[in-house]
Chains A and B, each alone.
Chain A
Amino acid sequence: MRDRFTSSQWAGLTLIGGLIIFPFVVSLFTGQPVESGVPKFWQGMLIQVFILAVFAMSYDILMGYTGILSFGHALFFGTGAYTIGILLKHAGWDLGSALLAVIVIAIIQSLIVGLLSLRVSGVYFAMVTLAFAQMFFLLAEATDFRQWTGAEDGLQSIPVPAWISPTTERLRFYYVTLAFAIIMYLLARQVVNSPTGRVMMAIRDNETRAKVLGYHTLTFKLIAITVSGVMAALAGAFNALWNLNANPAVLGVGTTINALLMTIIGGVGSLIGPMLGAGVIQLLGYWLNVFFGPSWPLLFGIVYILIVLFLPYGIVGTWRLRSAGWLAMWRERSRSLIRFFNHP
């Protein structure tokens, strides 16, 4: 048990170390300067992975840990994107205050949405959250607010401070988003391992039993949706900073489905799984697009079906279930190979 724990910690530290030196490794292998060309392109690719990873992880807190299925998670992501965009562009706020405002608005928004929609559960909850997200999607597209939101064109050219510009200071932006993803992961892990987090898992397993034990489950579900909402909003804000814009699609159903896919592919209820799922979707999407052109989503669908068939608990979930058996199998095979070479 303890060995396993430290080995997964080692894996985490190795991954972080690898991501820290990654831009320089790419630069080394391509012979191009770290701040332009291919290294810069790959930093951009991973920046998107980090942002989506936080978004997927926020979805996992809701679906994987509390058992709440939401079809409207884009609501928080999109609102975060628009909040920071509008405050930077039209209100002239500085970045720190704007990020703080994103958090405050996300808390208020998730509490309101939670209180109104957690009265129903299961698929009904999912549908109510979908309605909320669609409401904000239409609001973002509404021409009445064109001067602030840009309506269907979206909010263009958000003035991101020069020191963190994703175009001219790509390497710095890369490390900032990497740090953001790591901090969000540590916070999320802290939450799910806390007494409150354990009650969330109890609700996921058996809500009525949790009530009989004496837990006011609505309160815990509200905490889950708020933590999840704030994380999603921050991911949305980073997404707006990265793209220098926010358009209505960030509030669309596709954004929610993306989070759902990343969570399922990576492994529900594992935090790290959805983060890996974000990487898989982003990189797989890129490679499929390179090799097969615009019809890549069709192939992605096939890959998705294969993953669900052969890794039914996602990458991390299946690994946790099967790794002991797999390791034993390979250990045995390598032993018999060594025996063969020793006594041919």
Chain B
Amino acid sequence: MSDWIIETHRLTRDFGSLRAVDQVDLQVRSGSIHAIIGPNGAGKTTLFNLISGYLKPTSGRVLLRGQDITRVPLHRMAHLGIGRSFQITNIFPTLTVLENVRLAAQARGRDNFRLWTSAAKLRAYTERALAALHQVGLHERALQIAATLPHGDKRRLELAILLAGDADILLLDEPTAGMATEQVPMLLELLRGIRQGTNKTILIVEHNMSVVMSLAETITVMHQGRVLAEGSPAAISANQAVREAYLGTAFAGGQP
């Protein structure tokens, strides 16, 4: 068995005449933090949607631990250990914060078809949900209705939902988008903690370069639906083609 937990083979997706993802071959090493960067419209989110089963590819394949999962229905993906968060906040607005997270924990359990017990009595799920809320620092808002959260807190809720789902592979689509600047270190710490404490794989799309550079072990740069370059953070920041296509002068000027 290879080291790759996720592989894509010539993955392609068309929207009408637009080729959003074009023959992408991606390999994600098990237990690593792998970032995908690229300018807006490069196909990052579409690639995410294809890997997580949210969209079906026009052609090409997605492999999980060497098994073809291209045609697996969306609701099965969570049970295969793939969890994802969304770039645009995607929660259950009329339920409480706790209920949002509890549903993620319950989805992986065996109690979904219990009509005669009260959901509140399933302590194991509630505890796991509260632990996830603690991790993102949202536990004090557990009983608030999710729709009433400020935007930054909704982003954290999205993260807690992902954590409670206990996936082996976490797909994070721009987790810092809309998050307050002072929250970003919390996110970094959280992801590093996951990386060190468990054998989870993290695949992340992110625009915040300091997050990407300090976190990722491997970076894939996408441009116009194709993979432009791939390598370590140091190699990517030194890559001339990447600078020209995407990173621009600010990056060339000596960030991270």
**Chain A residues within 8 Å of B, Cβ to Cβ:** 1, 190-191, 193-199, 201-202, 204-206, 208-217, 220, 223, 227
**How far is it, in angstroms, between the C-alpha of A196 and the C-alpha of B109 when the chains are bound?**
12
Q: Within 8 Å CB of B123, what residues of A?
A: none
Q: In the assembled complex, how far is the CB of residue B50 from the closest CB belonging to chain A, in whole angstroms?
A: 14
A194, B117: Cβ atoms under 8 Å? yes
Q: Within 8 Å CB of A215, what residues of B?
A: 75, 107, 112
A195 and B165 in contact, given A216-B75, A217-B75 (Cβ under 8 angstroms): no
Q: Within 8 Å CB of B116, what residues of A?
A: 190, 194
B54, A202: Cβ atoms under 8 Å? no
A214, B93: Cβ atoms under 8 Å? no
A214 and B115 in contact, given A201-B92, A202-B95 (Cβ under 8 angstroms): no
Q: Within 8 Å CB of B90, what residues of A?
A: 206, 208-209, 212
**B180 at the binding interface (Cβ < 8 Å):** no
Q: Within 8 Å CB of A193, what residues of B?
A: 118-120
A196, B103: Cβ atoms under 8 Å? no
Interface string of B109-128 (1 = CB under 8 A from A): 00111111111101000000
Residue of B76, B102, B165 touching A198 (CB-CB under 8 A): B102
Q: In the assembled complex, how far is the CB of residue B204 from the closest CB belonging to chain A, in whole angstroms?
A: 17
Give me 10 A-to-B residue pairs in the complex whose CB atoms sit less than 8 angstroms apart, sorted by A's number. A193-B119, A194-B116, A195-B113, A196-B114, A206-B90, A208-B90, A211-B75, A213-B107, A213-B161, A214-B75
Which A-chain residue is minimally distant from B79 (CB atoms)?
A214
**B8 at the binding interface (Cβ < 8 Å):** no
| Known interface pairs A190-B115, A190-B116, A213-B165; 20 further A-B residue pairs with C-beta atoms within 8 A, sorted by A's residue number | A195-B113, A196-B114, A197-B115, A198-B102, A198-B106, A199-B112, A201-B99, A205-B91, A205-B92, A205-B95, A208-B54, A208-B90, A209-B90, A210-B92, A212-B52, A212-B54, A212-B75, A212-B90, A214-B76, A215-B112
Which B-chain residue is minimally distant from A198 (CB atoms)?
B119
Residue of B78, B94, B107 touching A201 (CB-CB under 8 A): B94
**How far is it, in angstroms, between the C-alpha of A278 and the C-alpha of B102 when the chains are bound?**
34
**B108 at the binding interface (Cβ < 8 Å):** yes
Which B-chain residue is minimally distant from A220 (CB atoms)?
B112
Q: In the assembled complex, how far is the CB of residue A47 from the closest CB belonging to chain B, in whole angstroms?
A: 29
How would you classify the secondary structure of chain B's contact residues: helix, strand, loop or mixed? loop
A196, B112: Cβ atoms under 8 Å? yes
Interface string of B220-244 (1 = CB under 8 A from A): 0000000000000000000000000
**B74 at the binding interface (Cβ < 8 Å):** yes
Residue among B52, B54, B84, B115 with the highest chain A CB neighbour number at 10 A? B115
A198 and B99 in contact, given A190-B115, A191-B115, A209-B90 (Cβ under 8 angstroms): yes
**How far is it, in angstroms, between the C-alpha of A199 and the C-alpha of B115 when the chains are bound?**
11
Q: In the assembled complex, how far is the CB of residue A154 from the closest CB belonging to chain B, in whole angstroms?
A: 35
Q: In the assembled complex, how far is the CB of residue B105 from the closest CB belonging to chain A, in whole angstroms?
A: 9
**How far is it, in angstroms, between the C-alpha of A339 and the C-alpha of B84 when the chains are bound?**
59
Interface residues of B in 79-96 (CB under 8 A from A): 79, 84, 90-95
**How far is it, in angstroms, between the C-alpha of A227 and the C-alpha of B118 when the chains are bound?**
17
B93, A195: Cβ atoms under 8 Å? no
Q: Within 8 Å CB of A209, what residues of B?
A: 90-92
A194, B119: Cβ atoms under 8 Å? yes
A194 and B118 in contact, given A205-B93, A206-B92 (Cβ under 8 angstroms): yes
B114, A194: Cβ atoms under 8 Å? yes
**B104 at the binding interface (Cβ < 8 Å):** yes
10 pairs of A and B residues whose beta carbons are closest in the complex: A214-B78, A205-B92, A214-B107, A213-B107, A211-B75, A211-B74, A195-B119, A198-B119, A216-B75, A194-B115
A206 and B91 in contact, given A199-B112, A214-B108 (Cβ under 8 angstroms): yes
Interface residues of B in 6-65 (CB under 8 A from A): 52, 54
Which A-chain residue is minimally distant from B99 (CB atoms)?
A198
**B209 at the binding interface (Cβ < 8 Å):** no
Q: Within 8 Å CB of A216, what residues of B?
A: 75
**How far is it, in angstroms, between the C-alpha of A1 and the C-alpha of B74 when the chains are bound?**
37
Which A-chain residue is minimally distant from B165 (CB atoms)?
A213
Which B-chain residue is minimally distant from A218 (CB atoms)?
B75
**How far is it, in angstroms, between the C-alpha of A24 and the C-alpha of B206 when the chains are bound?**
71
**B143 at the binding interface (Cβ < 8 Å):** yes
Q: In the assembled complex, how far is the CB of residue B146 from the closest CB belonging to chain A, in whole angstroms?
A: 9
**How far is it, in angstroms, between the C-alpha of A193 and the C-alpha of B95 when the chains are bound?**
12
Q: In the assembled complex, how far is the CB of residue B120 from the closest CB belonging to chain A, in whole angstroms?
A: 7
Which A-chain residue is minimally distant from B143 (CB atoms)?
A1
A213, B74: Cβ atoms under 8 Å? no
**B77 at the binding interface (Cβ < 8 Å):** yes
Q: Within 8 Å CB of B111, what residues of A?
A: 195
Q: Within 8 Å CB of B115, what residues of A?
A: 190-191, 194, 196-197, 223, 227
Q: Within 8 Å CB of A202, what residues of B?
A: 92, 95, 103
Q: Within 8 Å CB of A208, what residues of B?
A: 54, 74, 90
A205, B118: Cβ atoms under 8 Å? no
